Amino acid sequence: MDKKIVLIGAGSAAFGPPTFVDLNLSKVLAGSTITLVDIDTEKLQMVYEVLSEDNKKIGNKFNIECTPNREKALKGADFVINSTEHGDRFELRWQDNTIPRKHGSTERMAENGGPGGFFHSARQIPEIIKIAKDVARICPDAFFINYSNPMSRICLALKRVVPNLKMFGLCHQIELLVPHHLSKIIKKEMKDVQIITGGLNHFAFLLGLKDLNTGDNLLPVFNANCQKYFQGKWDRFHYADLTFEIYKRFGWFPYVGDNHICEYLQFGSHYTTAQDLTDWITRMELGKKAINFQLKWHYKKLKKGKYPKKGMLMREFSGERAIPIIEAIIEDSNSYEIAVNIPNDGIIENLPNDLIIECSGIVSKEGIRGVNLGNIPKNIAALLRIEASIQDLCVEAIMRESKDLAIDCLAMDVNCGSFEMAEAIFHEMCELQREYLPDFK
């Protein structure tokens, strides 16, 4: 296969090697060129040398190259996978998480929503738009796959600024439910079940379950068994108080977990604690350090001529969906994806068309076509429209570099609620993160 796949942000040990694991398992993409790109040249070189060594062990299945020069890398690209973070991910993440609470916010996760999510968006969106514009100019037929957060807001900005970009976003949150729990709840093999999802990234719901053999609706089975199944299995980082309160009150299961959905709800702080989310971010940070340690360990072994026989390649599929979707596009397979992030464009009729939604989709050579959901339940749509309005204003404030719109956006956020608080958060965060933010005026 003579395809070119560009990995932007490949210096991340959490991104480059796992993506290469999935490539290694691909029968369709053998012979492709894999171009690694990162502005951190030291880490990029480490990942390149380790993956090149692993590539030798699998018979030089791919042509691997690396460069910090994005323009050079994008020439002739068929697929571009973005997983970039502007600035030190966790140093800034802790500021996003703690500064708003210092001023009275009920901020929890601070990754995609809340006042912290606004500043994460403000750091990320301008930089990723630059990448997308380069893709549109240099390789306009390439598919652009975004992994970076805040997913919905980044993709919404890309849709508005680079409208012809063949773009979609991917997130693995559905894996919290599938395959770990769902098959046990409904007592079916997952290969026999079609799962239908809908909502926003990190704020989405299980909307349908269909038995592919009989056509039966399996949602009643799920609803009858779910609460009993999860007794004794509550996890404060995933399915716990908030998930089941929403499920009880609204009647639809939010598969994304407490630690994500708490960002978007006025009552989120009633069912999660700041300590829970502090512990979760700490766990994520320690995980990143462990992965980076593993990369450095393999690199040192390589330099000493003692590289392990098995290398860094895990034997199992990583669970990310970029490579299977690339295969489906190439083969025009019309395969089914449980959860993708794409422009609404009428898929959910009672949400704004100008919105990036998370939904199920069909993959073909044209890209991803969302499964039409019509009108989703009104109570869920009402929740989602609140966040949709905040996302709309967030992107507008960042693109216009408007201080006034930024403060308006912070004030209306469900985790804030006053202009005084919004102004205090805005001024302190701008002072701390000035070098990474737009020039708000």
- 53-66: pLDDT as tens digits: 999 988 999 999 99
Q: What's the CA gap between 220 and 252, in Å, rounded?
A: 11
Q: Per residue in 308-359, pLDDT tens?
A: 988 876 667 888 899 999 999 999 999 999 999 999 999 999 999 999 999 9
Secondary structure (DSSP) of 379-401: HHHHHHHHHHHHHHHHHHHHHHT
The pLDDT assigned to 309 comes to: 86
Low-confidence ranges of the chain (pLDDT < 70): 13, 16, 313-315
| 120, burial (CB in 10 Å: exposed 0-12, middle 13-18, buried 19+) | buried
- Any alpha helices (H) in 310-374, and if so which ranges? 322-331
Q: Please say whether the beta carbons of 231 and 239 come within 8 A.
A: no
Element (H, E) at 82: strand 79-82
pTM here is 0.96
The pLDDT assigned to 46 comes to: 93
**Cβ atoms within 10 A of the Cβ of 2, count?**
9
Mean pLDDT of all residues in the chain?
A: 95
The pLDDT assigned to 315 comes to: 66
The pLDDT assigned to 317 comes to: 81
The pLDDT assigned to 139 comes to: 98
The pLDDT assigned to 310 comes to: 82
Percentage of the chain with pLDDT > 90?
A: 89
**Cβ atoms within 10 A of the Cβ of 52, count?**
16
Task: State the greatest distance between any 2 C-alpha atoms of the chain, in Å, as a whole number.
Answer: 62
The CA-based angle 263-354-77, given to 5 degrees, is: 90
What phi, psi does 112 have (nearest 5°)? Answer: -120, -20
Query: Burial letters for 206-227: b for 16+ Cβ neighbours within 10 Å, e otherwise?
Result: bbbbbeeeeeeebbebbbeebe
Active site residues: 172
